[in-house]
Amino acid sequence: MKAVLAKRVDSGTADLAELRDLAAAAGYEVVGDLTQTRKEDPAYHFGEGKVAELADLMVRTRADTVIIDNEVSPFQMFNIGQALPEEIDVLDRFTLILDIFGQRAQTRKAQLQVELAELRYELPRASAKASLAKRDERPGFMGLGEYDESREQDIKSQIANIKEELEAIAEKEEQRRSERRDSGFDLVALAGYTNAGKSTLLRRLAAELDVDENAEKHPDLDDVAESQDMLFTTLGTTTRRAELERRDVLLTDTVGFISDLPHWLVESFQSTLDSVYRADLVLLVVDASEPVQEMREKLVTSHDTLHERNEAPILTVFNKTDLLSEDELEEKQAALAALAPDPIAVSGKTGENIDALRDRVEAELPDWEHERLLVPMADETMSFVSWLYDHAYVETESYETEQVLLEFEARPAIVEQARAKAAELTPVESA
């Protein structure tokens, strides 16, 4: 598939770099581009002369699709399509993103989220058709298609049904998170802009493969996929276990953020983002090899997404430090200090500073409680000690006459469980 990219901006210079990456992720070969700096034209979005230029470009490049990096109204989309050669597909930025999501969705949860986003995209367009058809009494007004008076209600009904199913899935996932915390694990989420290197970093930090049997297979399990420079390689979440010096954590990687996403699209993937919002610590991964202005814009996008519902502490990770010098890194850290205070710089590719990242993760996680228990020697004592090692960090294990002294640190819930289990131990009676 061959595509021409187009973008309009009110002022300044239009940047097509991200759209180019998105088009590649969707499987398009970009054969041309067109930009314009001017106020939006109500009829064509671009100026009418620029649309004529676009039509000529489509013929010269033999492209079959034009992708517009703007939100285009249904009427503008129709007018642009009418000005182009026949059989040319016209996509806007969000249609392209939904196309990519549709290609990547493999689990039931991901498929539902994509379908929800598509319906939310279609709803205002169905409403526009309804309003025009009623006002002008012309069901095919402006070529927008036949108006089906039941379509708008059908969309709303489908949205309600999908949200109900996603809520049921979310409840199960929340129960799974609670069970993991009850087992002594801290939950750490990898978040950040798409293509920041989160999956590569996950491979570095993780001690074992995917621990979530219900998640879709993550492409970073494939050595070939790891080297791909592609956006949205997965819509699902991957959770792996990582062993720190004193604590065990579960790391979760999820879909990357992207700029200029409308609220309805972010809301559609709320279920996936819950793994970030409900973590104990968020690692906000940033591609440090990019220009400062791009890093700043992406940090703002990420913070806007995280701060909406996230309450966990955020540790900013400057990744891909192998691609820049120490002086460049210091300059970027100074320039971005307001958005990324006290970041840690690493290279997921080479492994540089990964041990220091492990230490920072442990330091940034919520404090554990310290406890000291003196338990009797009983039939179940060794089983209890074994359980404690699995769920806490045991500092002291000292055997005295018919008693065991245990000093440890653990999550508050684990401390409570340990106290209850210790209270249930019955001393072994002497013969």
Q: What is the pLDDT along the chain (431 residues), one digit of tens a residue?
A: 899 999 999 999 998 988 998 899 889 999 999 999 999 999 999 999 999 999 999 999 999 999 999 888 888 888 999 999 988 999 988 888 888 888 877 778 888 888 998 898 888 777 766 665 555 554 444 444 555 567 888 999 999 999 999 889 888 888 888 888 777 788 899 988 878 888 889 888 886 544 443 444 333 333 322 334 455 545 567 888 887 888 888 898 877 777 777 777 777 777 677 778 788 899 999 999 999 998 998 898 888 878 767 678 899 999 999 999 999 999 999 999 999 999 999 999 999 999 999 999 988 988 888 999 999 988 889 999 999 988 888 999 998 878 999 999 888 888 988 999 998 887 755 54
Q: Are residues 377 and 355 in the same domain?
A: no
CA distance 53 to 8: 14
Q: Are residues 200 and 348 in the same domain?
A: yes
Task: Annotate 126-190 with DSSP letters as a single string.
Answer: HHHHHHHHHHH--TTGGG-----TTHHHHHHHHHHHHHHHHHHHHHHHHHHHHHHHHTT-EEEEE
Residue 179 lies in a domain: no
Q: Are 14 and 36 in contact (CB under 8 A)?
A: yes
Position 213 scores a pLDDT of 36
Q: Are residues 318 and 298 in the same domain?
A: yes
Residue 177 lies in a domain: no
Residue 174 lies in a domain: no
**Binding residue numbers for Mg(2+):** 199, 234
Domain that holds residue 151: 106-167
Q: Are 340 and 291 in contact (CB under 8 A)?
A: no
**Binding residue numbers:** 192-199, 234, 253-256, 319-322, 347-349
Position 219 scores a pLDDT of 37
Position 214 scores a pLDDT of 41
177 Cβ neighbours under 8 A, 6+ residues apart = 187, 275, 278
- Strand 89-92, strand 65-68: pairing: parallel
358-392 burial, b for 16+ CB within 10 Å, e for fewer?
bebbeebbeebeebebebeebeebeebbebbeebb
Read off the pTM: 0.70
CA distance 391 to 406: 13
Measured at the CA of 48, the angle between CA 43 and CA 49, to 5 degrees, comes to: 170
**Binding residue numbers for GTP:** 192-199, 253-256, 319-322, 347-349
CATH number reported for the structural domain that contains residue 38 in this entry: 3.40.50.11060
Position 138 scores a pLDDT of 45
Q: Are residues 243 and 321 in the same domain?
A: yes
Distance of CA 288 to the CA centre of its chain: 18
| Token pair belonging to 57 | 């470009």
Position 139 scores a pLDDT of 46
Q: Are residues 287 and 300 in the same domain?
A: yes
Q: Are residues 296 and 193 in the same domain?
A: yes
Number of domains making up the chain? 4
